Homo-oligomer: A and B are copies of this chain.
Amino acid sequence: MMLISKKNQYALRAVFELARQHGKGPIKISFIAEAQAIPERFLEVILWQLKKSGYVQSKRGYQGGYMLAVPPEKLTVGALMRFLQGDIAFAACMAPVPEKDCPFQGNCAFSPLWRRVRDAMFDVYDKTSMQDLLNNDNNMVSPNCNSK
């Protein structure tokens, strides 16, 4: 039971690392992978997909890497979550329960509840910028490197 898939957790952590390094030029995948304990080859895929959101950009070759396309205080978790969940199936996945799984076709006693829950979640997500997360970052310990 996990509300955010591991892949999306990786994506958020990767963007967080880019925010932390914002202004230092392109950051290599290998650096991000190590700093955030993310399997490197998997992170390649994740960042490449994230690029399509427009929130991160890349540069190839020597001294290449990834960087934020938006300043950390302008980039919210909500914007990222909408993109990350959307790459599976936009409309349905904004709800805690995809409506295709509802035998009552979304027209059931629970749907107002799911709507309220989704809104409550995104209310929090939308109010949290990458800069806000950076401000929490004081008491962070080093990762226990569960990347393989």
Contacts and interface: CB of A to CB of B under 8 A. Distances in A.
Interface of A: 1-6, 9, 12-13, 16, 36-37, 77, 85, 88-89, 93, 96-98, 101, 103-105, 107-110, 112-113, 116-117, 120-121, 123-125, 128, 133-134, 136-137, 139-147
A113 B77 contact: yes
A12 B111 CA distance: 12
Given A97-B3, A107-B139, A124 B113 contact: yes
Contacts of A120: 120-121, 123-124
A108 B12 CA distance: 12
5 shortest interchain CB distances as A-B pairs: A3-B96, A37-B103, A103-B143, A120-B120, A109-B136
Contacts of A139: 107
A109 to B, nearest CB: 4
A125 B133 contact: no
B2 A98 contact: yes
A145 B103 contact: yes
Nearest to A87: B1
A103 B144 contact: yes
A12 B93 contact: no
12 contacts: A2-B97, A9-B97, A104-B142, A107-B140, A108-B140, A109-B136, A109-B137, A109-B140, A110-B133, A110-B136, A117-B121, A117-B125
